[in-house]
Structure 1
Amino acid sequence: MVEVPEDVDGFSHLIEHIQDAVVGFELVGSEPEVRWVNEAFVDLFGYSRDQIVNARLNKYIVPEWLRREAAALDKRTDDGEVNYQRVQRQTFDGLQEFLYRGIPYDSDRVDGFAVYTPLTKVSRQERQVQVLNRVLRHNLRNQVTVIEGNVDRLIERLDRSDDRTDEIATDARESISNLRNLSEEVGQIHQILGRPPTGDNRVDLMAVLDDTVEEFRKKYPSSVIKTDIPPTLFVRASSNIRTAVEELVENAVEHNPADQSHIWIYTQPVVEDEWIDLVIDDDGPTIPESERKVIADGAEITSHQHGSGLGLWLAKWTVEKSGGQLLIGESSLGGNKLRIRLQTFE
């Protein structure tokens, strides 16, 4: 059990078992001396309690070239101010990035707490995704343009009276279009995931839906899209919520091989009108159970279970950025029932 001063002993069990590294320190000559640490500090930094307790903290965890930054943070703590900053600190295994919070505390043995949340893995992953997104999308767009031009030139030289030629040309152009759309979806996902949570944005979901339905009725005149919705319905949502609605309606239309697809869109209150479901029912092929489990239920992604495209992922992450939830089930029409669940906004 970590040794803590009597006046904070009531929190010792909590501090010992949280995953962030926590240090209780006393300022001696404006420098923090360690009075106790929790087990997460020992695990994350790699220094034993015997090494670190009663030692100068900065000597162990702050590299020489960052001492001035650390001194400025310590001074803020000494002045009674809370610190909150991304920092690099030295662990037994080398430099790591942390979110540092310095919290002043007035007691006989402890002048403050230092809390370190590891960020290295998250930061590296964010950077890697950013690089992959930019490089892959740029190269993909360029290669698609080159392929499209070459396919057109090859087709011009072929015998167009041959039905097989037209079939090949149609398949090639459809594949090129799919690649281009995939690149655009990746860009949209990257943009959405990079934005902070919505906060208190007030969006009229019915206005968004009206525009979307009108657009798809013109784009797919053979599809029957019926709605049963109120004139207005304000929800807490991001400005990108239209993307989710469009993706789900388009999914219902394009994945239906029938000559005429049927889609029914309506609202359904949840939890005494505090939450609302925008329901999109269709009569197309149902989304495979393995795909539903991965996208909606958080099942493990494998080479066989990953989802057939990015459209549903884009819708899911857009809804989640709005503080909502995407639910996938089976419709009474024989196809899919997709629910966008959002909090209402009075």
Structure 2
Amino acid sequence: MDEHMEQSSADAASRYAHLIEHIQDAVVEFELVGGDPVVRRVNEAFVDSFGYERAAIVDEPLNDWIVPEWLREEAQALDERTFSGEINYQRVRRETTGGLREFLYRGIPYAGDGATTDGFAVYTDLTDITRTERRLEVMNRVLQHNLRNKANIVLAYTTELLAEFDEQRAHRTEAAARIEGAARDLETLTGEAADINTVLKSTADGRTTDCVPLIRDVVDEHRRNWPAASVETDLPASLVVRANRRLRFAVDALVENALEHNPSDEPSVHVRAAPADSDGWVTIRVDDDGPTIPDDERDVVTGDGDITATRHGSGLGLWLVKWTTELFGGELTFATSDLGGNSVRLRLPSA
């Protein structure tokens, strides 16, 4: 009887191992050592999703491989819940060999041998699904709202101009200026939509690019277009990132936004790029002295807020930046600049 039970247990273990190895979600079996998850086994889907070979990651601290430095506190909080025997269920961003990706994470603890706490981490890649849903929602909301509003402005002021053509010149000049402004906004919107279409049809393709000359080209162009503005740079001689030339879309949109939305006659913009100290990431920063981007607009773009009929962002510029950055496995964040305005930052994998 004992022999039969042992055989049955061995068969069950074999079937279980076969299941784990062939499911499509990435699975890590770990042991908590000093509160940190240490990898004991990964399945083939983990190798495919994260890009790390089994031999490299087994018996290594999991967080050292897949959690970027700025997300360590979140990961540690999840590990503490696992250590206490709680099941975790949360959307997370984790680092792969291709950059950041979004996963649905499930942490499932169980009592291991002796006094150890072991568990499984299951990662379902949501990146493509989430981005596609959000892109469709944004394009629908922004284009529907902004195109309708700008068309209404053009129509209303054209009607007013015709009705009051013989009235005082100052009024006609103001109406004409509003029509011109609305037409320019429409032109910008359609240009951004075209650039977004290019980005969404692109692939990261594994190329590397020196971002310094790219940034200098963007800055030189905007200095010519905005002669009264102060557009300064703080750049190394060279800084190679895992991206292609489409990175220019993001940098150009950030500098354009910083200048366009600043009511000052002499706006100031400071563009910086620097490698991280040790974590393998590069940061490109565009700081300005203009009005800060509203919190609800930031939240919608970063994913911390829901898109609604009234909350979808004021245009497509920041969405172009976000999706271009995500194409290369990077991240868009916001802070307050030392100039008193916005500090918009792109984190990109270094080469």
Q: TM-score, with normalisation over the residues of structure 1?
A: 0.57
Is structure 2 residue 167 aligned with structure 1 residue 164?
no
Are 2:236 and 2:274, in contact at CA under 8 Å, matched by a contact in 1?
A: no
Is structure 2 residue 217 aligned with structure 1 residue 217?
no
Are 2:235 and 2:274, in contact at CA under 8 Å, matched by a contact in 1?
A: no
SS of 1:272's equivalent in the other structure is coil
**1:168-179 equivalent positions in 2, closer than 5 A:** 168-179=175-186
Identity %: 36
Tell me the residue number matched to 2:200: 193
Cα deviation, residue 303, structure 1: 2.9
Is structure 2 residue 348 aligned with structure 1 residue 342?
yes
1: CA distance, partners of 2:12 / 2:210: 54
Tell me the residue number matched to 1:286: 292
1:301 to 299, 304, 307: 307
Is structure 2 residue 15 aligned with structure 1 residue 9?
yes
2: CA distance, partners of 1:307 / 1:156: 34
1: CA distance, partners of 2:192 / 2:250: 12
Tell me the residue number matched to 1:260: 266
2:210 to 187, 190, 204: 204
Tell me the residue number matched to 1:79: none
Cα deviation, residue 272, structure 1: 1.4
Q: Deviations over 1:242-281 (max 9, x none)?
A: 0100000011111111111111111233251621111111
Structure label with greater radius of gyration: 1
Structure 2 CA distance for partners of 1:162 and 1:246, relative to 1, 3 Å = same
Q: Which runs of 5+ in 1 are unaligned?
A: 21-116
Structure 2 CA distance for partners of 1:211 and 1:193, relative to 1, 3 Å = same
SS of 2:218's equivalent in the other structure is helix
SS of 2:286's equivalent in the other structure is strand
1: CA distance, partners of 2:241 / 2:288: 24
SS of 2:232's equivalent in the other structure is strand
1: CA distance, partners of 2:294 / 2:180: 27
Structure 2 CA distance for partners of 1:159 and 1:306, relative to 1, 3 Å = same
Is structure 2 residue 304 aligned with structure 1 residue 316?
no
Q: Which runs of 5+ in 2 are unaligned?
A: 1-10, 27-123
SS of 1:199's equivalent in the other structure is coil
Structure 2 CA distance for partners of 1:200 and 1:160, relative to 1, 3 Å = farther
Are 2:275 and 2:350, in contact at CA under 8 Å, matched by a contact in 1?
A: no
Cα deviation, residue 15, structure 1: 7.7
SS of 1:226's equivalent in the other structure is strand
Tell me the residue number matched to 2:34: none
CA RMSD in angstroms, aligned pairs only: 3.8
Cα deviation, residue 227, structure 1: 0.9
Give the total of aligned pairs.
231
Cα deviation, residue 161, structure 1: 5.2
1: CA distance, partners of 2:15 / 2:279: 44
Is structure 2 residue 337 aligned with structure 1 residue 325?
no
SS of 1:263's equivalent in the other structure is strand
SS of 2:333's equivalent in the other structure is strand
Tell me the residue number matched to 1:183: 190
